[in-house]
Amino acid sequence: MFNKIEMRLSGSGGQGVILAAIIFADAALADGLNAIQTQSYGPEARGGASKAEVIISKDEIKYPKVTKNDILLALTQKSYDKYIASLDKDGILVVDESVNVNEDVPYKVYKLPIINTAINSIGTHMVSNIVSVGVLYALMGDGVISYDTMVSSISDRVPPTTIDKNIKAFEEGIKLIRG
């Protein structure tokens, strides 16, 4: 049973991990949960290191930073190398298929074609972050945030002309986990 989830989403600047984290926080709040989202990125807006954290809880959140990293998303090798040590031993690691991962690890690993799915199914790498949102949503399970709330949160945060593409990207991410 879900009580609290702490997620760290990482990649390079321009991959949209901050937007992905904001979408999760918005959706959690809309579903009556407590949520906090923080972010950091390097001085280079595009290409530099980028990290966003989200804590979703049924209870009051007493500290705004991730302390027990339950889920780590790493879209680049650099972000994996930088943040893997912070993943809880019982946590979940989600990486793009391009990332080299240590094989002997205690946590659950999902090595998925996130960026290729965005390119091949949607036609642009620009929705890789939303494919990731679908993957993470599917891993969290329906019992945390409702599907309709996630779709609404995505629709509220992306440019109006891209809503359909982004919803499709979200659904493609879910399919990567659920088939």
- Mean pLDDT value across the chain: 93
- Per-residue pLDDT tens for 121-158? 999 999 999 999 999 999 998 789 999 999 999 999 99
Q: How confident is the model at residue 114, as a pLDDT?
A: 98
- Per-residue pLDDT tens for 15-32? 899 999 999 999 999 999
Question: What is the residue extent of each domain of the chain?
Answer: 4-178
What is the CB-side half-sphere exposure of residue 24 using CA atoms within 13 A? 33
Alpha carbon 65 to chain centroid distance? 16
Q: 81: Cβ–Cβ under 8 A, 6 or more apart, which residues? A: none
Q: 176: buried, middle or exposed (CB in 10 Å: 19+, 13-18, 0-12)?
A: buried
The model carries a pTM of 0.93
Query: 4-178 in CATH: which number?
Result: 3.40.920.10
